[in-house]
Amino acid sequence: MEKVLVMGIGKSGMAAVKMLYGNAELSVWDGKTEEELNAENVTWLKDHGIKCFFAVTPNGEFDRVVISPGIKPDNEVAKLGKELVGEIEL
């Protein structure tokens, strides 16, 4: 199964996660701490067994990194993927 990291868990990031759920080994990253993020989104992610990296750099490499609007593609976390795609490309 493809390892995918979704960067950003705002509206578009969560939409990407829900679209990919069940079809990829998912992880999410956000530069904010868990306390700064939408609690409902965090709960959904954890309830669905998705690996969460909040305000820390994920470990490992990913087949694909899905980047949310507003996150710069030169972000260090984006470089952890073999392929970088925008959410719109999904």
Question: Which residues on adjacent β-strands are paired with residue 65?
Answer: 5, 84
pLDDT for res 52: 98
Note the pLDDT of residue 4.
98
Can you give the pLDDT at residue 34?
97
Whole-structure pTM value: 0.95
pLDDT tens across 20-69, in order? 999 999 999 999 999 999 999 999 999 999 999 999 999 889 999 999 98
Rounded to an integer, the average pLDDT of 10-26 is 96
Local structure of 60: helix, strand or coil = coil
Cα dist from 38 to 8, 43, 51, 76, 78, whole Å = 11, 9, 16, 23, 22
Residues 19, 90 contacting (CB under 8 angstroms): yes
Backbone angles phi, psi at 11, to 5 degrees: -60, -50
